[in-house]
């Protein structure tokens, strides 16, 4: 089930957010302390979209409350929802921006960003992208598309937009976006089967790392389509290939004068090569990693405890 993490910022954002949570609590039959009252399964069935249910059967909002000054947070703590939010989810500074946009953007506000938003692998943001159906215009009229065929095609290495075979690495996360008059249940079933068949190509230490979404409006000229976006360690093949080609040319200083003539220095090339090698090493590190090797406290542990369970493949409001 997809989760939505809400981030409410500033006095206005937190006031609107507080009203939002009051509405959501009423819709799900949850009181101000996060306890569900009722016996209607449909009412509570999808509460996990907005709430994390902890071991004590308490529903904790998946939210981060942010402001530059503590006054807004104090107002929330003094409200009827004071016991609803986890204290660790409050992120605030000690001085107001005083309606100064630059102060919020460049100084105090910028310092709070790292505390409010956590990106597990900030350097590993190079994706493999696939699309289906890839069919010539002449033959498209004679081919019928199904969810099963789209899923199979978009996961085919030959349908990837980069010259990299995902079977030579492991997916950290991936997302599949389907368009057309398709049943959501069928999409979920096909994606589950696909992940089961290709389980060896997914890391086992990131739970729920496959996300799927559905748009009922088909693309122009097609009755249905699928787009695949995957964060796979196999992308390092491309970087290794580029690095080898660079080394061969840089040793001979081929074409180097065209760049140094424009003000570049040879040191910039060697630094870039070093950064590329570091990137390849980081991809390899996570490809070989096991659950015991990963620091979950650093990447997910704090958010999981706080009910801000940021799923790796994205959320439906997502990626």
Query: What's the chain's Rg over C-alpha atoms?
Result: 24
- Are 132 and 226 in contact by the 8 Å Cβ rule? The answer is yes
Element (H, E) at 173: strand 171-180
- pTM for this model (two decimals): 0.65
Q: What residue ranges do the domains of the chain occupy?
A: 6-116, 128-232, 237-296
CATH level 3 topology of 128-232: 60s Ribosomal Protein L30; Chain: A; (3.30.1330)
- Which CATH number is correct for 6-116, 3.40.50.1440, 3.30.200.20, 3.40.50.2300, 3.40.30.10? 3.40.50.1440
Which of these CATH numbers, 1.10.3470.10, 1.10.287.600, 3.40.50.720, 1.10.287.1120, describes 237-296? Answer: 1.10.287.600
Q: What is the mean pLDDT of residues 189-209?
A: 91
pLDDT at 130: 93
Q: What is the mean pLDDT of the chain?
A: 85
At 313, the pLDDT band (50, 70, 90 cuts) reads very low
Most confident of 141-145, 213-217, 300-304: 213-217
| Distance, CA of 277 to CA of 279 (rounded, Å) | 5
Residue 318: pLDDT above 90? Answer: no
Phi, psi of 242 (to 5 degrees): -65, -40
Report pLDDT for 310: 40
Structural tokens at position 135: 């069919």
């Amino acid at each position: 089930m997809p989760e939505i993490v809400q981030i409410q910022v500033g006095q206005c954002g937190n006031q609107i957010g507080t009203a939002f949570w009051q509405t959501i609590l009423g819709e799900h039959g949850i009181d101000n302390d996060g306890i569900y009252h009722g016996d209607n399964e449909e009412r509570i069935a999808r509460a996990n979209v907005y709430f994390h249910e902890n071991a004590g059967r308490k529903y904790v909002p998946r939210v981060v409350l942010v402001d530059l000054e503590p006054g807004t947070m104090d107002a929330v703590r003094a409200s009827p929802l004071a016991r609803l939010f986890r204290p660790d989810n409050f992120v605030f500074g000690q001085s107001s921006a005083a309606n100064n946009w630059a102060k919020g953007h460049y100084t105090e506000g910028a310092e709070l960003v790292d505390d409010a938003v956590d990106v597990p692998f900030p350097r590993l943001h190079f994706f493999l992208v696939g699309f289906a159906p890839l069919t010539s215009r002449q033959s498209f009229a004679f081919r019928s598309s199904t969810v099963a065929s789209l899923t199979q095609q978009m996961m085919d290495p030959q349908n990837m937009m980069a010259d990299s075979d995902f079977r030579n690495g492991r997916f950290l996360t991936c997302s599949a976006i389907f368009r057309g008059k398709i049943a959501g249940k069928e999409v979920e079933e096909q994606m589950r089967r696909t992940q089961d068949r290709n389980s060896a190509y997914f890391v086992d230490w990131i739970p729920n790392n496959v996300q799927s979404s559905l748009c009922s409006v088909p693309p122009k000229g097609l009755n249905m389509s699928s787009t695949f976006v995957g964060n796979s360690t196999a992308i390092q093949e491309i970087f290794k290939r580029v690095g080898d080609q660079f080394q061969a040319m840089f040793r001979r200083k081929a074409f180097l004068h065209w760049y140094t003539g424009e003000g570049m220095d040879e040191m910039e090339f060697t630094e870039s090569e070093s950064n590329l090698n570091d990137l390849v090493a980081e991809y390899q590190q996570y490809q070989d990693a096991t659950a015991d090797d990963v620091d979950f406290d650093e990447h997910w542990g704090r958010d999981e405890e706080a009910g801000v369970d940021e799923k790796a493949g994205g959320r439906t409001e997502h990626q």
